[in-house]
Amino acid sequence: MRTVPPATLLAASLLLVSLVVGCSEAPVAKTPPADRVSTNIDVTPAVFNVAGAPTVEFEVPGMHCSACAAGVCRVLKGTTGVLDAKADADAKIATIAVDEATFDADAALAALEEEYGEATVKGDDAQNPEPTDESGESASKG
């Protein structure tokens, strides 16, 4: 059996102690006292479709999380005729506000399918999606 010289044991022990003590002395972020924390924070809630434009909903089964929802919004907002977009990852639904004169549902579907694999227009008339107003009625009815 090989013995370790006492000087080596002492050096190793000192190194170990200095590492432990050194780590415990690491700087720690201090939280300011409550009386110094400002509670006057301006919060502007995100509002969808402020203009009240007609909307179209898509089912996007490949949207699994908030990062996916943000990506769906990015893809849809990059589509011609889309004025605003919101997405709910839990419901797997994306809703867009559209400019009826320039919106192309096929282009929006193709963009979603390219990024997320599958997407369908939510509702009964999926073959020819028609934008609806805030009440759910067809926006093209006069």
pLDDT tens for 3-26 read 777 777 676 665 555 555 554 444
Question: For residue range 108-140, what is the model confidence (pLDDT) as tens digits?
Answer: 999 999 998 899 998 744 444 556 555 566 555
Domain that holds residue 68: 55-121
Distance spanning both ends of the chain, measured CA to CA: 98
* Residue labelled with tokens 């924390």: 37
Q: Return d(Cα 79, Cα 119) in angstroms, integer.
A: 15
At residue 116, the 3 state secondary structure works out as helix
Q: Return d(Cα 114, Cα 125) in angstroms, integer.
A: 22
Q: Return d(Cα 89, Cα 85) in angstroms, integer.
A: 13
With respect to residue 139, please indicate whether it lies within any of the assigned structural domains: no
For residue 7, report the phi and psi dihedrals to the nearest 5 degrees.
-65, -40
With respect to residue 127, please indicate whether it lies within any of the assigned structural domains: no
Residue 60 sits in a domain whose CATH number is 3.30.70.100
Task: Quote the pTM value.
Answer: 0.58
The number of distinct structural domains making up the chain is: 1
